[in-house]
């Protein structure tokens, strides 16, 4: 209850205060920060997926600016020889304003990534975007096989059906490529599972379906139970290591990421950066079971 109350007041706290305990969840405000942190992660044996913070633009001009930024990120990232790829939120490119223009923005970015033999992951946002984001993925996959992937959320009732429907375009030469996560947005119980164990059960059901059908999957979780059960499924079905990877967020449980990577599994870290850090970081703070302690520490101990 205290966590919930604090979560509600976060947006009203001074940004300078929130920044103190939000810092650990993003790599910095500038690309140079993200490249520096990515190199460190590469040295640790992890690959990265870079994300420019920002979402839900209100004008297509803003989307155009973000596109230009991403094109620059791709060039500099490639020149720095970093191992990893890029994650993009469709609402940053105007999916809720103009689907066609959003598609064109993505198209240009995927094309630039493909030139460097690289890959773009389409993040999944709230349920008002689900259909459009699936369609965006399918359209881009057709034009750029192997260069684009999508995120799916285990908490959505529809997810397993969505995966089954997308099997129509799954081939050995161009497999489906998903990141599977629990899902972060607040959705109505008529469309989303709400129970903690219920979401975990559906995560594992979706994951098993993907693994058994040769879909590439990024297993995105910090939940020790899910990590252990995922490893059991991988072992049970003898899934080869080039068919999946584990994924975690920058700043969350580095001990766990080292332990997973130490067992010989591929580990990718989602590395956000940029000036629009507030919304992203407060979402992370709300998920942190020790948030109350962090805030008390920030207010009273660090003055
Ligand atoms: C790489 C990656 C990409 C993602 N992309 C998307 C996306 O596109 N769309 C989407 O809806 N969601 C996305 N998510 C978020 C995801 O949906 C979950 O909200 C988030 O990962 C928390 O779920 P969990 O599986 O880690 O389990 P939880 O039950 O939330 O966490 C398990 C344990 O991990 C630790 N932990 C979790 N979060 C924190 C934190 N912030 N600080 C400290 N400890 C923490 C705690 O010990 C907690 O008990 C992504 C997650 C990852 C890892």
Going by C-alpha positions, the residue among 212, 249, 252, 257 that lies closest to residue 234 is 212
Question: Total domain count for the chain?
Answer: 1
Report the range of poorest mean pLDDT among 60-69, 156-165, 206-215, 275-284: 275-284
Q: DSSP 3-state assignment of 263?
A: coil
Q: Which helix (H) or strand (E) holds 153?
A: strand 148-153
Instruction: Report the atom number in ligand 1 closest to the C-alpha of 183.
Output: 17
Q: Please indicate, yes or no, if residue 140 is contained in any of the structural domains.
A: yes
In a domain, 232, yes or no: yes
Question: Measured in angstroms, how far is the CA atom of residue 153 from the centroid of ligand 1?
Answer: 11
> Rounded mean pLDDT of 9-31?
84
Atom of ligand 1 nearest to the CA of 221: 25
Residue 171 Cα to ligand 1 midpoint, Å, equals 30
Q: Residue 278 domain-assigned?
A: no
Please tell me the predicted confidence (pLDDT) of residue 254.
95
Mean pLDDT on 27-53: 97
Q: Model confidence over 58-79: pLDDT tens digits?
A: 999 999 999 999 999 999 999 9
When pLDDT is cut at 50, 70 and 90, the band that residue 302 belongs to is very low
- Candidate from 5-14, 100-109, 154-163, 235-244 with smallest mean pLDDT: 5-14
> Which of 227, 249, 283 is the best mutation target for the ligand 1 pocket, counting ligand atoms within 8 Å of the beta carbon and taking the most?
249
At residue 11, the pLDDT reads 77
Q: Among the atoms of ligand 1, which is closest to the Cα of residue 151?
A: 8
Q: Looking at residues 48-64, what average pLDDT do you find?
A: 95
pLDDT tens-digit map of 142-173: 999 999 999 999 999 999 999 999 999 999 99
Instruction: Find out whether 213 and 167 touch, Cβ atoms under 8 Å.
Output: yes
Check the CA dihedral 28-152-106-77 and report its sign.
positive
125 found inside a domain: yes
Say if 228 falls within a structural domain. yes
Q: Is 167 left (phi over 0), alpha (psi -120 to 50) or beta?
A: alpha
Q: Per-residue confidence at 10, pLDDT binned at 50, 70, 90?
A: confident
Q: Which residue has a Cα nearest atom 27 of ligand 1?
A: 223
Confidence of residue 303 (pLDDT cuts 50, 70, 90): very low
Structural domain contains residue 103:
yes
CB 54 within 8 A of CB 279: no
Residues 89-112: tens digit of each pLDDT = 999 999 999 999 999 999 999 999
Instruction: Give the pLDDT score at 13.
Output: 78
Which band of pLDDT confidence, cut at 50, 70 and 90, is reported for residue 301?
Answer: low
Predicted structure pTM score: 0.94
- Domain range for 200 is 89-261
For residue 201, is it within any domain?
yes
Residue 245 half-sphere exposure toward CB, CA atoms < 13 A: 20
Model pLDDT, residue 9? 75
216 near 178, Cβ under 8 Å? yes
Q: Which residues line ligand 1 (CB under 6 A)?
A: 123-124, 151, 153, 179, 181-185, 220-223, 247-249, 252-253, 270, 284, 287-289
Which residue's CA is the nearest one to ligand 1's atom 31? Answer: 223
pLDDT at position 3: 64
pLDDT at 208: 98
Which atom of ligand 1 is nearest the CA belonging to 284?
A: 41
Q: Whose CA is nearest to atom 25 of ligand 1?
A: 221
What pLDDT does residue 295 have?
61
Q: What percent of the chain has pLDDT over 90?
A: 82
CATH of the domain at 167: 3.20.20.220
Rounded to the nearest 10°, the torsion over CA 96, 100, 102, 103 is 130
Question: Is residue 299's pLDDT more than 60?
Answer: no
Instruction: Give domain status of residue 53, yes or no.
Output: no
Gap between the Cα atoms of 95 and 136, Å rounded: 9
Q: Taking the alpha carbons of 169, 170, 175, 181 in that order, is the dihedral positive or negative? A: positive
CB 29 within 8 A of CB 281: no
């Amino acid at each position: 209850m205290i966590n919930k109350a604090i979560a509600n007041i976060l947006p009203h706290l001074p940004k300078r205060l929130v920044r103190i305990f939000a810092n650990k969840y993003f790599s910095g405000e500038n690309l140079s920060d993200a490249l520096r942190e990515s190199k460190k992660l590469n040295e640790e044996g992890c690959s990265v997926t870079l994300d420019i913070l920002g979402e839900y633009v209100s004008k297509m001009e803003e989307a155009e600016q973000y596109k230009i930024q991403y094109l620059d990120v791709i060039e500099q990232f490639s020149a720095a020889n970093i191992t990893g790829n890029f994650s993009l939120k469709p609402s940053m490119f105007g999916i809720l304003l103009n689907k066609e223009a959003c598609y064109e923005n993505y198209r240009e970015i995927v094309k630039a990534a493909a030139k460097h033999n690289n890959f773009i992951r389409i993040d999944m946002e709230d349920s008002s975007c689900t259909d459009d984001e699936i369609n965006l993925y399918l359209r881009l996959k057709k034009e750029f096989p192997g260069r684009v992937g999508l995120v799916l959320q285990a908490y959505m009732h529809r997810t397993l059906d969505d995966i089954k429907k997308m099997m129509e375009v799954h081939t050995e030469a161009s497999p489906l490529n998903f990141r599977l996560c629990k899902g972060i947005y607040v959705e109505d119980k008529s469309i989303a599972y709400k129970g903690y164990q219920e979401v975990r059960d559906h995560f594992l059901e979706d994951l098993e379906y993907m693994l058994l059908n040769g879909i590439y999957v990024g297993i995105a979780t910090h939940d020790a139970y899910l990590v252990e059960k995922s490893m059991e499924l991988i072992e049970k079905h003898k899934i080869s290591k080039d068919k999946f990877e584990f994924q975690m967020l920058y700043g969350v449980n580095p001990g766990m990421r080292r332990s997973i990577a130490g067992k010989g599994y591929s580990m990718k870290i989602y590395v956000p950066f940029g000036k629009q850090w507030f919304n992203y970081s407060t979402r992370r703070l709300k998920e942190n079971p020790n948030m109350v302690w962090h805030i008390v520490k920030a207010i009273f101990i660090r003055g």
